[in-house]
């Protein structure tokens, strides 16, 4: 499976998949989140390209982890230049256990 475009840059689909995986991992760090839930929305803004050989830093922050919904932001930066490559937001519905 190719993770790059014809121009040897990181494929947008691979970036979106990383938003999903990294965002889900952040949610699991919270005690009240026993599951990563189900994705409701994944949004990615592509701001610059990352090329083969570039080192990328990924920073993820939980914006909200509630009883039913979690929202995480994920930012991709070029390690050498500090330029933002992409910004993602991941919203997940957390399974609510039944009281019945």
Q: In this predicted model, which residue has the larger pLDDT, 14 or 88?
A: 88
The pTM is what? 0.84
H-helix or E-strand spanning residue 8:
none
Residue 33: exposed, middle, or buried by beta-carbon count in 10 A (0-12, 13-18, 19+)?
buried
Q: Is residue 81 a contact partner of residue 51, using CB atoms and an 8 Å limit? A: no
For residues 22-47, average pLDDT: 86
For residues 44-65, average pLDDT: 94
CA distance 4 to 41: 24
For residues 32-44, average pLDDT: 83
Percent of the chain with pLDDT over 70: 84
Q: Compute the half-sphere exposure of residue 80: CA atoms within 13 Å on the CB side of its CA.
A: 5
Going along the chain from its start, the domains and CATH numbers come out as 12-93 (3.10.129.10)
For residues 53-62, average pLDDT: 95
Q: Is residue 59 a contact partner of residue 19, using CB atoms and an 8 Å limit? A: no
């Amino acid at each position: 499976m190719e993770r790059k475009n014809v121009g040897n840059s990181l494929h947008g689909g691979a970036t979106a998949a990383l938003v999903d995986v990294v965002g889900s991992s952040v949610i699991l760090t919270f005690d009240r989140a026993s599951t990563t839930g189900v994705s409701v929305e994944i949004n990615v803004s592509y701001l610059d390209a990352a090329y083969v050989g570039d080192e990328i830093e990924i920073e993820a922050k939980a914006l909200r982890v509630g009883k039913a919904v979690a929202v995480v932001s994920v930012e991709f930066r070029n390690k050498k230049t500090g330029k933002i490559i992409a910004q993602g937001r991941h919203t997940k519905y957390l399974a609510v256990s039944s009281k019945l």
